[in-house]
Amino acid sequence: MNRAQLQKLYPQVRSFTEALCEPLAIEDYVVQSMPDASPVKWHLAHTSWFFETFVLKPAVPSYRPFDERYAYLFNSYYYGAGERHPQPQRGLLSRPTVAQVLDYRRHVDGAMRRFLEDAPERALSERSFVIEVGLNHEEQHQELILTDFKHVLAQNPLAPAYRPAPEPAAGARVPLEWLAYAGGLVALGHQGPGFAFDNERPRHHVFLAPFALASRPVTCAEYEAFLADGGYQRPDVWLSDGWNVRERAGLSAPLYWQHDGTRWLEKTLGGLRPVDPRAPVCHVSYYEADAYARWAGARLPLEGEWELVASSAPVRGNFAEAGLFQPAPTEPGRGPLQLFGDVWEWTASPYLPYPGYEPFPDALGEYNGKFMSGRMVLRGGSCATPTRHIRASYRNFFPLDARWQFSGIRLARAAD
């Protein structure tokens, strides 16, 4: 990215983060509802720490940190960047206050603005890539602000909403179709000049057997049929680890679902609402997605299968900018439908390095590579992902029992 592009994008991305926080009360910024989630306040600070640590401190000799101690408080997991405050204790910090964190943002933003304006071309081009990583990083935290805060609200018996949501429009159910693909030796992974994370590279070949992909994600109505068929009481359709998780955690439905005696309700960022039978089911773990697929006589797609199909589809969908923050019912059309947006789609592929994988250089080498075990790949982005952030080669990854992301299911199977 050149100077002009960065000067345009930086304030856009940064201000969208703050815009997402507008509906929050001060108290909302503080709570950490589980070790894997972080307080909103922390996200605001950590994304600023990123620019301070990887751009301003190394590239701007005159830069004075807002508070030296923030290096410790807001480092997430970069051993190369020094000691850090333990992740499960982020919710124990009432200070710095929200106002102080916002001051910290302004301090960093001011220095970044000056750097983007004043830096000699060579200094800028040396840091251009890291800044672009930082903006993509901030976009990831925009999504986490929404999903982590949704989790906070869900712990509250008062059932507060992030902000009111419109009633979903009426409409018919869209039947599931199977789209057949020949597979064969295909090239996957990012190519071309645009930004991509290291984990999307290098482009490489895989061999795919012929397969079919569902034309749309699994809907809540379909998932209710799974529930009604005793899906959570049938070990034969579950992975062994999944069944153990189910028993230990007492799972009986997707996260945020509750039954009122008559029907299923769902906690959403717009408050407690009836489950929409036409919308993609979400907040299911890999184990649930896999069990559903087996119950349905299908399987989850390989990430290669998904990417092969997606690479010829436009990147359009229900993303964060729509402000819906909830998967929308499928609309009729030629499939594949809703590949992008709405829900992240669990794949059957563990998150692994591509052949010849090279991590980002220096401290950013910890960004992705060290998480390449114990996680599955999800594809396509969700209703909480910023539009700009996603592409066909994008690989998200979460542990197999994670449910607090907008994670859903698309089925695949061998071609007939």
By CB under 8 A, name the binding residues for a second copy: 25-31, 33, 41, 69, 72-73, 77, 79-80, 85, 89, 91-98, 152-153, 155-158, 160, 185, 204-207, 209, 235-236, 238-243, 286-287, 290, 348, 350, 352, 355-356, 365-366, 370-374, 400, 414
Q: What angle do CA 93, 130, 82 make, to 5 degrees?
A: 40
Closer residue to a second copy, CB minimum distance, 287 or 340: 287
Closer residue to a second copy, CB minimum distance, 9 or 352: 352
At residue 165, what are phi and psi to the nearest 5 degrees? -120, 150
Minimum distance from residue 138 beta carbon to a second copy (Å): 21
Closer residue to a second copy, CB minimum distance, 235 or 333: 235
Q: Minimal CA–CA distance to 70: which of 92, 98, 42, 91?
A: 42
Minimum distance from residue 314 beta carbon to a second copy (Å): 28
Minimum distance from residue 158 beta carbon to a second copy (Å): 6
The β-bridge partners of 181 are: 211
Q: Minimal CA–CA distance to 202: which of 212, 191, 214, 210?
A: 191
Minimum distance from residue 95 beta carbon to a second copy (Å): 5
Closer residue to a second copy, CB minimum distance, 4 or 158: 158
Closer residue to a second copy, CB minimum distance, 172 or 187: 187
Minimum distance from residue 151 beta carbon to a second copy (Å): 9
Closer residue to a second copy, CB minimum distance, 64 or 95: 95
Minimum distance from residue 348 beta carbon to a second copy (Å): 7
Closer residue to a second copy, CB minimum distance, 96 or 386: 96
Q: Minimal CA–CA distance to 277: which of 376, 172, 368, 379?
A: 172
Closer residue to a second copy, CB minimum distance, 106 or 205: 205
Is residue 347 within 8 Å of 397, Cβ to Cβ? no
Structural tokens at position 285: 């773990």
Residue found under tokens 């592929």: 349
CA distances from residue 244 to 16, 85, 233, 239, 291 in whole angstroms, order as listed: 40, 32, 12, 9, 13
- Kindly write down the DSSP assignment for every residue of 65-124, as one continuous string: -S-TTHHHHS--S-GGG-----GGGGGG---S-HHHHHHHHHHHHHHHHHHHHHS-HHHH
Rg, the chain, Cα only: 22
Minimum distance from residue 239 beta carbon to a second copy (Å): 5
Q: Minimal CA–CA distance to 267: which of 182, 275, 113, 253?
A: 275
Minimum distance from residue 388 beta carbon to a second copy (Å): 27
Minimum distance from residue 93 beta carbon to a second copy (Å): 5
Q: How many CB atoms lie within 10 A of CB 260?
A: 9
Parallel, antiparallel, or unpaired for β 257-259 and 412-414? unpaired
Minimum distance from residue 149 beta carbon to a second copy (Å): 9
Closer residue to a second copy, CB minimum distance, 91 or 386: 91
Ramachandran area for residue 263 (φ above 0: left; ψ -120 to 50: alpha; else beta): beta
Provide the 3-class DSSP secondary structure of residue 398.
Answer: strand
Q: Minimal CA–CA distance to 275: which of 212, 227, 240?
A: 227
Closer residue to a second copy, CB minimum distance, 146 or 220: 146
Closer residue to a second copy, CB minimum distance, 72 or 195: 72
Residue found under tokens 């591509």: 354
CA distances from residue 294 to 90, 226, 324 in whole angstroms, order as listed: 39, 11, 31
Minimum distance from residue 405 beta carbon to a second copy (Å): 18
